[in-house]
Amino acid sequence: MNLSMSGIDWTHAPLALREQASFPPEQLAEVMGAISAAHGVEGCAILSTCNRTEIYVDAAGPADPPWRLFVRETGLDLPESAFVSRVDEDAVRHLLEVAGGLHSRIFGDDQILSQVRTAMDRSLESGAGSALLNMLFRTAVTVGKRIKTQVRFTSTTSSAAAAAVCALGDLAGKSALVVGNGEIARLAAGMLLKRGARVTMTLRTYRHGENQIPEGCETVAYADRMAAAEGVDLLLSATASPHLTVTAQQFSELRTPPGAVVDLAVPRDIDPGVRGLVPRFWDVDDLGGIETAAPEQLEQARSLVEEGVQEVLRWRERRLSRGESAYFPLFLDLRGRRVVLAGGGTIASRRINVLRQFGCDLTVISPHLKLEADWFTWLPRAYEPGDLEGAFLAIAATDSREINRAIGEEAHRRGILVSVADCMEECSFFFPAVCTGGGVVAGVVSSGKSHRKTAVAAKKIRTVLEDLT
């Protein structure tokens, strides 16, 4: 159970190099799956943002370093010197500091925490996760939250979008076109609106309920973006597209070009040649990298990081001392039984969809929910002590280590079987990969080291069950 990581980030790699290592989510999922299937590798997770690409690998034994696995699976022609690598405790400490915004170009960046959580979710969804990586990334999210709430950094900006808006100065009455409708684009548009700008956003397609448009924004079809850019004061682009949204040729053909251009994307959205055609131009490397925290704030944040590091190391030591385990399969009749599930994210949603098949009386507790509550009871709030009263089973699948631990403790006190998604030591049962077909139900679990092995085995079993009549 060896942890290692390799990364490219803004502290040593320019934008032109970083964008080579930036890939769309669907391709990252393929890369993580391929790396996790490599010899000696138990799991892989990739953290990809505009300022960094970091590959974390959990290896059961000798394995190629993460940078080599990454360039092999992506086809990149990058030497080892392009990456910074860390192992074991140093790798743990680095991720926890990253999640707290201590290594962001915009010091204390508000967006990095959700990006770390997304990296964990994508690893699990691609079947590349492992128990160690799951524990590591969940701890990083928890530590990042603690830093955000307990340490008050004095930075004036909290994201690249905020830094760009601040750099633009007085925006009252100015017009702006925002190309993109993702998280960063929406954040930028909302900030521009608050500063008094008139904002138009591009949409590639419109489906009711899928496009979240900040109140007060006008919209225009993405295909009409250049016509909409005519005469605006500001053009800002922030998409996840691997292609340019604005070329130098397109920009030069505008009769009245924007006076300021901001490119918040990696890979870049706007042709670098536009820089010479406009009075004011910023990309992500022009924003941030100056501010830091006061020494006492850094000390407080790093103290919280060290607590998280020790938590991960203790968890790993417990796993190593236990060695391999095989678990006795037990099948339960859940019809009409009360099941309480806390959580509303990706893992919780998968658990809910599985439980649908077994007739339980399910209560889901979560402030937010990805699924429609069409067959179960949804309590739109956080878990509270006492919520497990009368439950037969409990499932803790929130993104908070503290809440999941509290649910596990309450369940154990009440004698309720509980599955804790981010800590197998706190489970009294393990939620399996469920396979059904031909009136047969099979459940698959592993030793907890490799989610990918479980997923592969379950897929093969489902193929067999589908042929039963």
Positive or negative, the Cα torsion across 381, 383, 388, 394?
Answer: positive
ω into 267 cis (within 30 of 0)? yes
Cross-strand pairs, 52 = 9, 49
Helix (H, G, I), strand (E, B) or coil at 131: helix
- Which residues does 40 contact at the CB level (< 8 Å), separation at least 6? 59, 60, 61, 62, 63
Q: HSE (CB half, 13 Å, CA atoms) of 402?
A: 9
State yes or no: is 44 an active-site residue.
no
For residue 79, the 8-state DSSP code is -
DSSP secondary structure string for all residues of 250-291: HHHT-SS--SEEEE--SS-SB-GGGGGGSSEEEEGGGS-SS-
Residues forming beta bridges with residue 55, ordered by sequence position: 6, 46
- Strand order of the sheet with strand 417-420? 377-379, 361-365, 338-342, 393-396, 417-420
Which one of the listed residues 44, 50, 217, 423 is annotated catalytic?
A: 50
205 burial class (0-12, 13-18, 19+ CB within 10 angstroms)? Answer: exposed
Residues 6 or more apart whose CB falls under 8 angstroms from that of 214 comprise 186, 189, 190, 193, 199, 201
Beta bridge partner(s), residue 394:
340, 418
DSSP-based three-state secondary structure for 421 = coil
Answer yes or no: are the C-beta atoms of 225 and 251 closer than 8 Å: no
User: Helix-strand-coil percent breakdown of the chain, rounded to 5?
Assistant: 40, 20, 40
CB 191 within 8 A of CB 215: no
User: Can you tell me the distance from the alpha carbon of 106 to that of 161, in angstroms, rounded to the nearest whole number?
Assistant: 10
Q: Label each residue of 177-237 as H, E or C.
A: EEECCCHHHHHHHHHHHHCCCEEEEEECCCCCCCCCCCCCCEEEEHHHHHHHHCCCCEEEE
Classify strands 377-379 and 361-365 as parallel, antiparallel or unpaired: parallel
What residues act catalytically? 50
